[in-house]
Amino acid sequence: MMNRFMQSRLRGLIVLALILIILPAFLANSFHYELVTQMAILAATVVGLNLLVGYAGQISLGHAGFFGLGAYFSGIATGTYGWPSVPALLVGAILVAIIAWVVGRPILRLKGHYLSMATLAVGFIIAIILNNERDFTGGPDGMPVPALEVFGWELSAFGQYSLFGLTIEGFQAWYIFASVVLLVAVWFALNLIESPIGRALRSVHGSEVAASVVGVNTAKYKSLVFVISAIYASLMGGLYAHFQGFITPAVASFEFSILFITMVVLGGMGSTFGVILGAVVLKLLPQVLADFQELETVMFGLILMLTMIFMPKGLLPTLTAIVSRRMRKKAGGEA
């Protein structure tokens, strides 16, 4: 049983890797690559957020705040102070982790709407600071961010690289890099979920009293998962900043937080691969419905509502359930 379960765990990761390998065959131009790279970075962010929301059952409506802090820390450290990218990403993540821990301890005592409001406020405060600290952040106009530099090797969407004797464009290199990042993010998340720590997190969602009477320090685990999801957001925010080459406080905005939450809910709370699908769908939708630009947030709100009402388990789990029901029916019919 255990073996079968572990195999199925890795099977998902392998399928994701195959999709990421095959995908370039369908990507025609740099714009497509850019879109998919953004998807991968956002997907990795919501894989982290899902640990908090889907598995531990704690809402955060301010996660873009942590994403934005990571983005700006990387931008300022590398751009203004000339740090190399990797230390900037790591120090940014550590700072965000500390902030999340300090903020998380008190607010995670709250439940339901109160927690929603508190996390919302955290996001707002961060966005306001990024808007106001013009000297560091450039204010509402935003700031440029240098290309990502990994151990002396600069990764720019406009560069050209040679890999295994092949010449690849910068946007392709970024795609490969973001794919690897997503796979690692998913692998860590899967490992976390299928562990004593993961069970403790899920039990906080399933029954907080049951968790506490078998010895789970529920307050500690809530803080822990809040911090972990904030670290995911911070690191991905930093990568996003480098990839985009330019950031504005919009990356920390309420709209962005809602986008993240909608990705999680639409894709499937508590389904790591589901939320990736959520990220893909919600990143594609504005491309398809280009005319609704200014109504984007309204649209996300609507999707959020409709999903909660009609498909509370989310897209991927619902689809999987339908497919497996069909297959069982078929098998039953043949028997």
Partner 1 sequence: MTALVEVKGLDKAFGGVHAVEGVSFAVEAGQVYSVIGPNGAGKTTLFNLITGLYIPTKGEIRLNGESTARLEPNQLAERGMCRTFQQMQICMNMTAIENVMLGRHLQLKSNLFTTLFRLPSLRRDEESAHRRAAELMEYVGCGQYVGAEASAMSYGALKRLEIARALAAEPKVILLDEPAAGLNATETAALEDLIRKIADQGITVMLVEHDMKLVMGISDRLLVLDHGRVLAEGTPEEIRQNPDVIAAYLGG
Q: How far is the CB of 125 from partner 1 (least distance, A)?
A: 28
Is 270 one of the binding residues for partner 1 (CB under 8 A)? Answer: yes
Question: Is 8 near partner 1 (CB under 8 A)?
Answer: no
Length of the chain: 335
Cross-strand bridge partners of residue 168: 161
Quick check: 105 binds partner 1 (CB under 8 A)? no
Q: How far is the CB of 195 from partner 1 (least distance, A)?
A: 4
Residue of 258, 243, 277, 225 whose CA lies nearest to 101: 225
Least Å from the CB of residue 138 to partner 1: 35
C-beta separation of 56 from 222 below 8 A: yes
Which of 17, 192, 285, 299 lies at the binding interface for partner 1 (CB under 8 A)?
192
Structure tokens at 195: 């562990």
> Which part of the chain contacts partner 1 (CB under 8 A), choosing from 85-93, 149-157, 197-205, 290-298?
197-205
User: Does 52 participate in binding partner 1 (rule CB under 8 A)?
Assistant: no
Question: What whole-number distance in Å separates Cα of residue 253 and Cα of residue 285?
Answer: 20
- Closer to partner 1 at the Cβ: 49 or 200? 200
Strand, coil or helix: 66: helix
Interface size with partner 1, residues (CB under 8 A)? 28
Between CA 64 and CA 112 the distance in angstroms is 19
Closest CB to partner 1 among residues 96, 216:
216
Supply 74's token pair. Answer: 């990387």
Query: Which of residues 213 and 331 has its CB atom nearest to partner 1 in the complex?
Result: 213
Minimum distance of partner 1 from residue 5's CB (angstroms): 9
Q: How far apart are CA 277 and CA 325, in angstroms?
A: 21
Q: Which stretch binds partner 1 (CB under 8 A): 98-106, 211-219, 306-314, 322-330?
A: 211-219
Phi then psi for residue 110, to 5 deg, are -75, 155
- We find the least distance from the C-beta atom of residue 268 to partner 1, in angstroms, to be 13
CA distance 102 to 109: 13
Token digits of residue 283:
């990143």
* C-alpha dist (Å) from residue 27 to 36, 74, 167, 177, 226: 9, 29, 17, 16, 36
Bridge partners for 247 per DSSP: 143
Q: Which two tokens stand for residue 37?
A: 């790279």
Question: Is 181 an interacting residue with respect to partner 1 (CB under 8 A)?
Answer: no
Pick from 38, 80, 116, 212 the residue near partner 1 by CB under 8 A.
212
Q: Does 206 bind partner 1 (CB under 8 A)?
A: yes
Chain residues binding partner 1 by CB under 8 A are 1-2, 188, 191-192, 194-200, 202-203, 205-207, 209-218, 270
